[in-house]
Structures are given as C-alpha cells and as structure tokens.
Amino acid sequence: MTYIQLVNAVLRKLREDSIQTIQETEYSVLISDFVNDALTYVESSWDWSNLRETLVITTVDGTDTYPLTGFGNTSEIMSVYNVTDSIQIQPRSKAYIVDKQYKSTLKAKPRYYALNGTDVNNDINLIAYPKPDGVYTLEVNAVVRNKVLVDDADTTKLPTLPIIQLAFAYALREKGETGGQSASEQIVIADRDLSNAIALDSANNAGELIWSYV
C-alpha cells in the first residue's frame, strides 16, 4: 500500500472523508504522522524478513573504519562475513578492539568488528580488527530500518494491517471514541494483529528461534 492509501484506510475507520494528497487538510497531516509513528513501532518490533539486506564493504589497506551507508542508527547487524577468505567475522566490543589497537599495529585480514559511532550522514561506522592489510570484501547482513514515508506514493515493505490498526489507535487516543471504539480497546486489536504478523514472518526464519545449550 502507498502512504496515501494507508492514511485513507485510517481516515475511513475514523469515518472521515478520503483525501487526494497527504497535505490536503491539517487532519490528514496529523493522521499521516500517526501512520509514520505506527510504522516505526512495527518496524522495530521484529527482525522482518523484508527489511533484511546485505551491505558490502570493500576494505582499503590501512583503513579500519567504514560507514554502513543507509544503515542509520536503528538498524541491526545479523552477521558479518569476510567473503574474500570465506570466514565469519566475530563481533567484539569497541573497548576490546581499542585495547588491541593500543597494544599492536598489526595489519592482517579482518577477524573482528565493532560499531564505532556515526558518520556525517548519521550512519553507523564499522571498525575492523586487525586493520586490513589489503583489499577484502566484507558482507554485512543486516536488518535495515529508518524508513519514513514522505510522498503520497511512498510504500513500505512491512505488513500494513498492524500499521493501520496502530495508527487508528493513536488517532482514537487523540480524538476520543469512534462508534464506541476506545483507544485502549483498539491497542489490544493492533497488538494482536502485530503478533500475528510476527508469527507468520517468523516461520520464514524458524532456525533463528531454536535455542540450544552450548
């Protein structure tokens, strides 16, 4: 669904007239804000399959810090691989890597990584250790969030029913009851629909939910 379709879906539940553009009325702008609030909530509630991407880093000899373009600061790293050497790079704390850097100027193929602040675009920096001694291809498997709808035709990869139901709940909280439906009742419905969407998506990643003793 497009941004304007999501907003109109919420407006219909509120028994309001549909709109032709997000900016049509002050109320439609308010509802559009609620839609984005609901999208952010749904987005952060689960590691959605549709939000998973592979970000590629090509290292430079002697450079250990690389921005994850488009990653923002609310996304999540699932794993990092050194494709050149066919090995997984293990996560470590920034303190661990900084300690190693102080003690050694070693340059070699990267074996560990940590996150190290953000760049000018507010994207997370990845710091690799040891400092690369040449060109390596690193694949960062991540759940990339930070999506905000702006234009009428913008779309989301997320399940839309929980977004609509949550935005409707936010609108009810601001407006009051509509047809006897209270905000608290609608929150329960929205949470149920979100739980159902998560359950359906988790079936595509069942192995991630299996825990074992090590």
Tens digit of each residue's pLDDT (9 = 90 or more) over 81-135: 999 999 999 999 999 999 988 888 889 999 999 999 898 888 999 999 999 999 9
**Residue 56 structure tokens:** 């590629």
Note the pLDDT of residue 73.
78
Measure the CA angle with vertex 167, ends 72 and 1; round to 5°: 75
Q: Hey, is 183 helix, strand or coil?
A: helix
| Contacts (Cβ under 8 Å, ≥6 apart) of 109 | 82, 84, 85, 87, 130, 132, 133, 134, 136
Alpha-helical segments (H) within 14-77: 26-44
Note the pLDDT of residue 212.
44
Q: In degrees to the nearest 10, what's the CA dihedral of 153, 159, 162, 164?
A: 20
Instruction: Look up residue 83 and give its DSSP letter.
Output: T
Note the pLDDT of residue 113.
96
**Residue 129 structure tokens:** 């250790």
| Contacts (Cβ under 8 Å, ≥6 apart) of 179 | 15
Note the pLDDT of residue 207.
63
Note the pLDDT of residue 102.
87
Phi-psi category of 210—alpha, beta or left, where left has phi over 0 and alpha has psi -120 to 50?
beta
Residues 131, 1: contact at Cβ < 8 Å?
no
pTM: 0.84
| Residue 16 burial class via C-beta count within 10 angstroms: exposed 0-12, middle 13-18, buried 19 and up | middle
Note the pLDDT of residue 104.
83
Which residues of the chain are under the pLDDT cut of 70? 176-180, 206-214
Alpha-helical segments (H) within 19-64: 26-44
| Residue 164 burial class via C-beta count within 10 angstroms: exposed 0-12, middle 13-18, buried 19 and up | buried
**Residue 114 structure tokens:** 């940590």
